[in-house]
Amino acid sequence: MTYFPEIAAPIPYEGPESDNPLAFRYYDADQMVGGKTMSQHLRFAVAYWHTMKGTGQDPFGGPVYQRPWNHGSSPMDQAENTLNAAFEFLTKLGVDFYCFHDRDMAPEGDTFAQSVDNLQTMVAKAKKLQQETGKKLLWGTANLFGHRRYIHGAATNPDPHVFACAALQVKHALEATLELGGENYVFWGGREGYETLLNTDLKREREQLARFFHMAVDHAKKIGFSGQFLIEPKPKEPTKHQYDFDSATVIGFLREFDLLDHFKLNIEANHATLAAHSFEHDLTTAAAAGVLGSIDANMGDLLLGWDTDQFPTDVNSMTRAMLVLLASGGFTSGGLNFDAHVRRASLDTLDLFYAHIDGMDTFARALLAAHAIIEDGRIPEFTAQRYAGWDKDLGASILAGKESLDSLATWILDKDEPQVPSGRQEYLERILNFFI
C-alpha cells in the first residue's frame, strides 16, 4: 500500500540549475559545509500533527483535506494507517526525524487506562517502523491543551485533579519518548496562561507550573531518560497571556524556580514574531544564556497577528537565524522541526511535498549563506571591533570589577569627548545580501 503514489522514489538533489519543483536545488544531504554535512547541520524533522493529522480546519469551516490515510475500521486502525503514511512520507522526503504529541499518534480512549494503552500500542508499532526505516524521533510531547478538561490550563489549572491528568499524560509521553530513543522532550505551554486576572491567581499558577517541571525532571531521572528537556516560548494564543511569553521570560522563570540546569529552549519563528521580536532576537537571547536547544521552523505573515505557521520561504530571515545557530556552535540534540502547515486551500498530498522541499531548500540556502558570511568575516569582525575597547585597558578593568563610579569620574574628568563612530548598518546589510 502506498499513500504517496505520485512520488516514486526519494526526492533527489538536482542542483541550482534544476527546474524540477519536486527536486532539491540546494539541500544536498551529504554536502560538507565547514566540517559537517548539511543533514548533520540541519537535522530536519516533520511535525506529525500538521503534516499527518492536519485537516485544513479553521474558525470558519471544518476539515477539508481528504487524506488517504485518514480512515480505518476503528480509531486505532486509522492511527496505524496514519503511522504507516508518516514513515512513507519521511522516507520519500529524505528527512531523518519526526516529532509528535501523544494524541497525534494514538487516540484518546474512553478511560484514562485505555488512553495509556492506546499510546503504548502505537509506540511499539512506531519503534518497529523506526528500526525498518532508520528514521528517528527528535522529540516527543504531550497534548495538554486539546481536551475539554484543559480549558483552564493543565499544570496551572485551579483544580489539582486536572494537574494529575496532565501528570499522567506527561509520565507516559516521556516514557514513550524514551522507548523511541527521542533526543529531546518538549513542553509547549498550551493553555498555561490566562484570559483575565479577575479569576486568576498568577503567583500560584506559576508555582504550580514550576512544580510540574520539577516532577518531570525527577521522573526522567527515575526512568533513565537522558534527553534534553525543552520549553517552547509563545506570547499569546490560545490564551491572551501565555506564561512562557518569550525567551527572556522563560529564562527568568527557569532561574527563579531552579530549573535552568535541566531545560533549554525550543524557539519557534512565528512565536518570536508574535512577541514582537524577530526570530533571530529570540534565538540570540537563548544562545546568550547558553540554552538554545532546538528550533520550530516556520514563519508568520507580517500582515496577520496570529500564528499562521507557514513553511519558511524567506531566505534572508532564515540566514540571520542560521548565523545565530552557527555562532552558537550548532545543534547538539536539537534540530529544525517544521512546525508548519500548508494553507487550507492546498488540498493535495503533493502540496505537503512542495512545502517541505521548499522549506528544506530555504534552510540549505540559509546555511550556505551564513557559513559564507562567517568565512568572509567582515560582519563578525565589524561587530567584534565595535566592542574591542572592552577587551583591554579601561574596559577590561571595569569588567574585572576594579573600577567604581568615583574612579571613573576621576579618570574621565580631564579627557576629551569620546569619538562616535558610524554603526554602518547599511554597509552590513549590503555585505549580508552579497551572500543571499
Which residues are paired to 188 by β-bridges?
232
Residue whose Cβ sits closest to ligand XUL: 188
192 binds, among Co ion, ligand XUL, none (CB under 5 to 8 A by kind): none
Judged by beta carbon distances under 5 to 8 A according to partner kind, the member of Co ion, ligand XUL, none in contact with residue 307 is: ligand XUL
DSSP codes, 316-335: HHHHHHHHHHHHTT--SS--
3-state secondary structure of 29: coil
Give least dist CB 423 to Co ion, A: 34
- Residue closer to ligand XUL by CB (options 144, 287) is 144
CB neighbour class for 398 (10 Å; exposed up to 12, middle 13-18, buried from 19) = middle
Q: Is 232 in the site for ligand XUL (CB under 6 A)?
A: yes
Instruction: Select the span of 198-206, 280-288, 292-300, 407-415 touching Co ion (CB under 5 A).
Output: 292-300
Tell me the C-alpha distance between 164 and 415, whole Å. 65
- Nearest distance, CB of residue 283 and Co ion, angstroms: 14
| 296 lines the binding site for ligand XUL (CB under 6 A) | yes
277 among known catalytic residues:
no
The verdict on 339 binding Co ion (CB under 5 A) reads yes
Of the CA atoms within 13 Å of residue 222, those in its CB half-sphere come to 9
Residue pointed to by grid coordinates 548565523: 323
The cell for 107 is: 487516540
CA 405 – CA 313 distance, rounded (Å): 50
Q: Using only C-alpha atoms, what is the Rg of the chain?
A: 24
Among 102, 183, 192, 296, binds Co ion (CB under 5 A): 296
307 binds ligand XUL (CB under 6 A): yes
393 noted as active-site residue: no
Among 102, 268, 282, 307, the residue binding Co ion under the rule CB under 5 A is 268
For residue 264, the partner it binds in Co ion, ligand XUL, none, with Cβ less than 5 to 8 A by kind, is none
For CA atoms 399, 405, 406, 409, the dihedral sign is positive
For the window 97-116, what string marks contact with ligand XUL as x by the rule CB under 6 A? ----x---------------
Residues of span 315-374 touching ligand XUL by CB under 6 A:
339
Say how far apart CA 267 and CA 265 lie, in whole Å.
6
Distance spanning both ends of the chain, measured CA to CA: 42
Closer residue to ligand XUL, CB minimum distance, 24 or 194: 194
Residues that bind Co ion (CB under 5 A): 268, 296, 339
Q: Return residues touching ligand XUL (CB under 6 A).
A: 101, 141, 186, 188, 232, 234, 268, 296, 307, 339
